[in-house]
Amino acid sequence: MSAGSLNRVEIDLAALRHNHQLIRARLAPGVAVMAMVKAEAYGHGLERTALTLAGCGVGAFGVAEVEEGVRLRQAGVAGEIVILLGVRPDSFAEVVAHRLTPVVFDLTAIEQLSALAVASAIRLDVHLKVDTGMGRFGIMPDEVERFVTVLASLPGLRLAGLLSHLPMADNDGHVTDEQCQRFQALLGRLGVSPGSGRLRHIANSAALFRGSATHLDMVRPGITLYGCSPVSGDDSLPLRPVMRFLTGVVQVKEVPAGYGVSYGHTFVTDRPSRLAILPVGYDDGYLRRLSNRASVLIRGQRVPLRGNVCMNACVADVTDLPEVAVGDEVVLMGSQGDEVITADQVARWLETINYEVLCLFGNRNRRVYVDEF
């Protein structure tokens, strides 16, 4: 067995449970949680994350595609598994076989699912997606009655839920309020109310911060489960980051003043310097845009990244930390001692969002699961 890479992400399952408890505490009794575990649980690992949350009492899970749902069933997840991107004909058999819950927005797919469910002698739950302003998946509000009528007429299917999605809950209350009112009016027209047997859900992580009006029967937290706020600058919820990204020092070298560092010599030393060479680069999701922007933690101290990030290597300036040695742990994201580099800070360096950072690091590196850091 060959030695593994020094690069790894540590996933703190105790922090995951903590974040779920904080979310649960914001919800009224009876409001369910659908944990968003799509995209490998935002880089945290699909099966392990879902099983941990199932152990906390979570009974519904949101994935993007059927293949993820099958993996969860094979891992022993017994709760409802909702396929958010809908389903294609080549996946219908697996949907039925594993009792997955597809989101639907296409009449042809609905009719074909009905026929297969009847042939399999089962009743398959589906959720109907309505576009109330997201401008992405889902039927338009004026199509809803027609779809509901068709669903009611087809054997083998049960309309178990209606959902919509909020594109601006993190920064525009007016747009979000309008969408929620539109969704509530639609539900009223259909006679879908609490206790009707059809789940109503629209709230994402950002909507959790907006109060209970959006919570309805179920909420769909994602980024908050993993310890990041969906609302820039809002730390009102004491979330704990679940992921750390680590590597190690593989060489320490002395170079003179005026020495160019890495491809293109985009950094030239202005003094005799000590450089720590790290075996991590853009192949590991540590992108080239971090060149001469990022810092890392070594021995509990923040040190700058110098020169261009390479495919499998980058360079930190440890001139002011003479004790740094080969083998020292390096934190690229996360805490070490009293210092911390957050996913939000990495996102600012990359000019992106914390969601992308977690997926980027978590899905490109070996995962190690721990109960606490």
* Residues annotated catalytic, as ranges: 38, 263
CA distance linking residue 7 with residue 175, whole number of Å = 42
Q: Quick check: 113 and 102 in contact, CB under 8 A?
A: yes
CA distance linking residue 336 with residue 13, whole number of Å = 18
> Residue 358: CB partners within 8 Å, gap ≥ 6?
42, 43, 44, 223, 226, 228, 243, 343
CB atoms within 10 A of CB 181: 12
CA distance linking residue 237 with residue 230, whole number of Å = 11
Tokens 């299917």, residue? 157
CB atoms within 10 A of CB 93: 12
CB atoms within 10 A of CB 109: 17
Q: Quick check: 148 and 162 in contact, CB under 8 A?
A: no
CB atoms within 10 A of CB 220: 23
Write the DSSP string, 72-100. HHHHT--SEEEETT---GGGHHHHHHTT-
Helix (H) or strand (E) holding 49: helix 46-55
Write the DSSP string, 308-331. ---SS-EEEE-TT-TT--TT-EEE
Q: How many Cα neighbours within 13 Å face the side chain of 320?
A: 6
Helix (H) or strand (E) holding 128: strand 124-129
